[in-house]
Amino acid sequence: MAAEKSRAIVLRTIPFGETSSVVTLFCREFGKLRALAKGAWRPKSAFDGGLDLLSTSQVLVLRKSSGGLDLLTEACLERRFRVGTSLPAVVGGMHVAELLDVLTVEADPQPELFDVADAILRELSASAAPAEVVAAIVLWCELEFLRLTGHAPTLGRCAACHEPVALEHRVPFGLLDGGCLCGRCRRGRRSVIAVSAPALAQLMQLAHPACDWRHASLPAAVGGEVRAVMNAYLSHLLDRPPGAARWLPYQQPPRRSRSG
């Protein structure tokens, strides 16, 4: 069986034996896969630098037709994720890798998802950007990941009846319903948080297809609330809080909506 070539983002590496490693990759051509890299940590191996966390590499994989690990035969480093002077940027990169892992299944190619992740990691690598810029970049990435995997929250209209929602005062946001709720549909529903109109407007702006995410900024005035909403939404979707999200900028607990 011939080895197949792909661009890949390194999501995770786990030591296996003394010199080998089990690697989780998100490949542009193959989707997510887990592969055994034999001798990965030997001097002058075929993986020198190509398996660094968050790096993008050209890989050669012998893919198994049945269950079990694929075999990684080569990884040629294309771009290493470099630590700059912005700690939020590094945490943002870790968060991107975690979401790629938990929002996808193995052997499901999603080239557009790969391209989004690759662009974000390129932007965050060696970044010196302030917290408000990193927060906006990461939030845009989250919304794009959710859109591309079919989990995008409904913003600006009711997730239940699909009628427009007025951006006045605080808007109910149903975690079980997947987005905003109008006053009529809010009644009697559980797991609802309240989102202020400015925070919802910020989410809608970043979710808009024409958003220029490279020049976006998330102001501190709404940053904490927006981050809390996204953390709550992801936690409900994944059945657990994302691990790296706790270190992202602007952390605060979400505000619960009163039952009606």
Q: Summarize pLDDT for 6-41 with one digit per residue, the tens.
A: 999 999 999 999 999 999 999 999 999 999 999 998
Sign of CA dihedral 69, 70, 76, 82: negative
Q: How confident is the model at residue 257 (pLDDT cuts 50, 70, 90)?
A: low
For the cut 90, the answer to whether the pLDDT of residue 46 exceeds it is no
One-character DSSP codes across 115-154: HHHHHHHHHHTT----HHHHHHHHHHHHHHHHHHTT-PPB
Q: Summarize pLDDT for 190-212 with one digit per residue, the tens.
A: 999 999 999 999 999 999 999 99
Backbone angle region of 17, left / alpha / beta, with phi > 0 → left and psi within -120 to 50 → alpha? left
Q: What is the pTM (predicted TM-score) of this model?
A: 0.93
The answer to whether the beta carbons of residues 175 and 191 sit under 8 Å apart is yes
The CA-based dihedral angle spanning residues 229, 233, 239, 242, taken in that order and rounded to the nearest 10 degrees? -60
Start-to-end C-alpha separation, the chain:
62
d(CA 7, CA 83): 22
Length of the chain: 260
Structural domains for the chain? 4-79 (2.40.50.140), 130-247 (no CATH)
For 94, other C-beta atoms within 10 Å of its C-beta total 20
Rg (CA), the chain: 20
Sheet arrangement for strand 179-180: 179-180, 170-174, 192-196
- Across the chain, what does the average pLDDT equal? 93
Q: Beta 70-79 vs 31-37: how paired, if at all?
A: parallel
To which residue do tokens 């794009």 refer? 144
The pLDDT, as a whole number, for residue 60 is: 96
Phi, psi (deg, nearest 5) at residue 157: -145, 165
- Residue whose C-alpha is closest to residue 102's, from 250, 247, 253, 245: 245
- Residue whose C-alpha is closest to residue 119's, from 98, 148, 141, 139: 141
3-state SS assignment for residue 58:
strand
* Alpha-carbon distances, residue 66 vs 27, 59, 70, 107 (angstroms): 19, 20, 10, 12
Q: Summarize pLDDT for 71-107 with one digit per residue, the tens.
A: 999 999 999 999 989 999 999 999 999 999 999 999 9
- Residue whose C-alpha is closest to residue 192's, from 168, 210, 176, 169: 176
The pLDDT, as a whole number, for residue 16 is: 94
The answer to whether the beta carbons of residues 59 and 75 sit under 8 Å apart is yes
